[in-house]
Amino acid sequence: MGQAIGQMLPTAVGVAVSPMPIVAVVLMLVTPLARVNGPAFLVGWILGIAILGGILLAVASPSNASDEGQPATWVSILKLVLGLLLLLVAVREWRGRPQEGAEVATPKWMRMLESFTPVKAAGAAAFLGSINPKNLLLIVAGAAAIAGTGISGGQQAVAWIVFALIASIGVGVPVVIYFALGDRAPALLNQLKDWLAHNNAVIMAVLLLIIGVKLIGDAISGLSA
């Protein structure tokens, strides 16, 4: 199981440090419903990732994802495709980064967050955590990495729980800050929000480039073994 955790760790970290979901939870934490919407967002995020990963692993398990402890050929091909897609997204993010001194516009959907109920907050988190394209690519890559190690179903489940927890650190930290710092939290959270919103494209470009290259390298190693 240690091998599985090591293989999926980069993609889990990639999900965790995705800036826009962190900005979204921070926006919820500066609204009157912060005490309920913040935790609801975190729970929805964890459940979204956990459920999607469980589905992917359930599909991969009977598909012979491992060949004597090594990723099957189709898993290596999938990693190659995912790696190439991540490189394309990285290039798009880099090209779309805001120029120095330019004002970063807040997406329209984020302006609606202050009116969300806890149920809507959890639903938005489940979508951002699992279905949005960037995270979806990373989650599929993480599930493929775990399935490709050939460990048992129970061990895969434990490894995916670890994935979901690591992937939730990014949105979990602002929630912890809110409850730990009390009245001092809004100022710090607003600073964090502004910095992440301005640097979102650069952070994601670098991160996706690194993960994409790793996936391509893993794929080449698997196909040449």
Output the CA–CA distances (angstroms, integers) from residue 214 to 76, 80, 86, 221, in the order listed: 12, 10, 10, 11
pLDDT above 90: residue 2:
no
Calculate the CA 225 to chain-centre distance: 30
Sign of torsion over alpha carbons 126, 128, 134, 138: negative
Structural domain that includes position 177: 2-224
pTM of the model: 0.86
Q: What are phi and psi of 4, to 5 degrees?
A: -65, -45
Q: Calculate the CA dihedral of residues 91, 20, 135, 150 and round it to 10 degrees.
A: 110
CA–CA dist 77, 71 (Å, integer): 10
Residues 6+ apart with CB under 8 A from 43: 122, 125
* Token code pair at residue 201: 């494209």
* Number of domains making up the chain: 1
HEC-encoded secondary structure of 164-184: HHHHCHHHHHHHHHHHHHHHH
Scanning the structure block, which residue is given the tokens 């989650």? 139
pLDDT of res. 50: 94
Query: Contact, 60 vs 147, CB < 8 A?
Result: yes
By the 10 Å C-beta count (0-12 exposed, 13-18 middle, 19+ buried), 96 is classed as: exposed
pLDDT per residue over 53-68, tens digit each? 999 988 877 666 666 6
Beta bridge partners of 66: 71
pLDDT of res. 63: 64
Q: Give the total residue count for the chain.
A: 225
pLDDT per residue over 101-147, tens digit each? 666 666 676 777 778 899 999 999 998 888 888 899 999 999 988 88
